Structure 1
Amino acid sequence: MKILLIEDEKGLREVIQQTLESEKYIVETASDFRSGLYKIGSYDYDCILVDIMLPGGNGLDLVREIKAMGKTEALIIISAKDAIDDKVAGLDLGADDYLTKPFHLAELHARIKAAIRRKSYNGSNNIAVNNIVLYPDDRSVTINNSNLALNRKEYDLLYYFVINPERLINKTALAEYVWGDNIDQADNLDFVYSQIKNLRKKLRDAGAEADIQAIYGMGYKLVLS
């Protein structure tokens, strides 16, 4: 799963990024209003964390922009401002949660999981597509109630396909989702192809009622049986 953290305080930004990455999240960051707005408009995330006080603009205005774009990511405001008016304004604009600094990182993790759960899979602790079931909290997968062994990138790819069933996704979008700001590691996207190839074989061998199909010159799609 992929998170965008928009926070201008470098020390806090780095601590949050490190602790989220230790939980196997892909984390991208922005330190001001403009760079945050650019990333929001250019890429997809599972959750966006927004500070209210940002260089170049107000985090509440970013929330307005997110909703105006029709983006559906879980959205959590993190702020040193504990004023009830800011909380009410943020929630009224469409934020899913509001967390006041200072906060415990364990609480932030719990709120991120809860927000994503509500937004992406209807409050359940799993995502089911036909006979494929993903359990995001422990990054496990079952097919016909049997565990499916996947490496980290294979799991991330399957997760992205499962939350976007029957949607055509181009290879660059897949690479950016799985590698984030480290997209160059994908070695000209060839590694994405090899990971998808391995994932498709594992799904077929396990009897999955879905297949990742290549659409020549365009990308890939999870097609349900």
Structure 2
Amino acid sequence: MKVLVLEDNPRLGASIHDFLVREGYTCELADTYAKARDKLLSVDYDCVLLDIMLPDGNGLDLLKLIKQENIPSGVLIISAKEALDDKIKGLEGGADDYITKPFHLTELHARLRAIYRRKNPAATNNNIISFNEINLNTDTLQAYINNQLLDITRKEFDLLMYFVVNKNRVLSKQAIATHLWGDYTDNLDNLDFVYQHVKNLRRKISQLNGTDYIDTVYGLGYRFKGAEEAQ
């Protein structure tokens, strides 16, 4: 899938871009209305992730352009938490869905895939992420160990997916906290809740005779072992 991300927050835009690239997407970034307009008129995208508040315009105007030019891209609107009017205007203007800040990247991924499948019903269903005995369904947000349903919370699902798609990378507690709970964790002095979530995830995987792939990297964070180390 080819995705255009229109987001003027450099940190958020980079996070979305890096996540989607790791998931196998072709992803391009634009941080202004003008840049996004030029890209849309010259390149075909399967989906556009559309921020509304831009430094040089309004994302809803870009949505109007997409419809006026009969651009077939799906549109997922990024809206502020309280911006109900923008959500309504976007959906009435032809957007396919919206997601509210702050959001989890795994939820963003699921919504993008849902839009793509609706617009491409003949497309191959590729909603399963697998690693050895672990299977993650990004549509149902369910995880399976050795074909047995893993009884985990939504946060634990997001954490397991974050580990799987970042195999062999050292992930700091701060990076994990920001991924799961958003930027407001930046100023917290204590990140012990990350340890508790990792501990719970390990325990539940072990209960289904799954392998513990999570290594503690003392002083840094955690690393999910790749296949070559998991033998």
TM-score bin, normalised by smaller chain: 0.5 to 0.7
Q: In 1, distance between residues paired with 2:159 and 2:193?
A: 12
1:215 is matched with which residue? 217
Query: CA shift at 1:111, angstroms?
Result: 6.1
Unaligned runs of 5+ in 1: 7-29, 64-73, 89-96
Residue 99, structure 1, aligned to residue 92, structure 2: no
CA deviations on 1:172-215 (whole Å, 9 max, x unpaired) are 11111001134269772110111101111111222223421101
Which of the pair has the greater relative contact order for Cα pairs under 8 Å at 6+ separation? 1
Amino acid across the alignment from 2:174: T
Contact 2:74 2:116 in 1 (8 A): no
Q: In 2, distance between residues paired with 1:61 and 1:190?
A: 46
Listed as ranges, the matches of 1:48-197 within 5 Å are 54=33, 58-59=35-36, 76-78=48-50, 79-82=63-66, 84=69, 97-99=73-75, 102-106=93-97, 112-114=112-114, 124-183=126-185, 188-197=190-199
Contact 2:213 2:224 in 1 (8 A): yes
Q: Secondary structure at the match of 2:183?
A: helix
Identity %: 31
CA deviations on 1:141-194 (whole Å, 9 max, x unpaired) are 111111110012111100101111222111111111001134269772110111
Bigger helix share: 1
Q: In 2, distance between residues paired with 1:62 and 1:171?
A: 37
Q: In 1, distance between residues paired with 2:112 and 2:144?
A: 24
Distance of aligned partners of 1:61 and 1:98 in 2 relative to their CA distance in 1, 3 Å threshold: same
Query: CA shift at 1:112, angstroms?
Result: 0.9
What is the RMSD of the two structures over their aligned residues, measured on CA atoms?
4.1
Matched residue pairs, number?
Answer: 169
Name the TM-score, length of structure 1 as normaliser. 0.58
Q: In 2, distance between residues paired with 1:150 and 1:39?
A: 27
CA deviations on 1:84-143 (whole Å, 9 max, x unpaired) are 59x59xxxxxxxx553962254599886125799xxxx9612111000111111111111
Unaligned runs of 5+ in 2: 41-45, 51-62, 77-89, 100-107, 118-123
Contact 1:130 1:209 in 2 (8 A): no
Q: In 2, distance between residues paired with 1:98 and 1:45?
A: 19
Query: CA shift at 1:77, angstroms?
Result: 4.4
Amino acid across the alignment from 2:64: A
Name the TM-score, length of structure 2 as normaliser. 0.57
Amino acid across the alignment from 1:40: G
1:37 is matched with which residue? 10
Q: In 1, distance between residues paired with 2:199 and 2:139?
A: 25
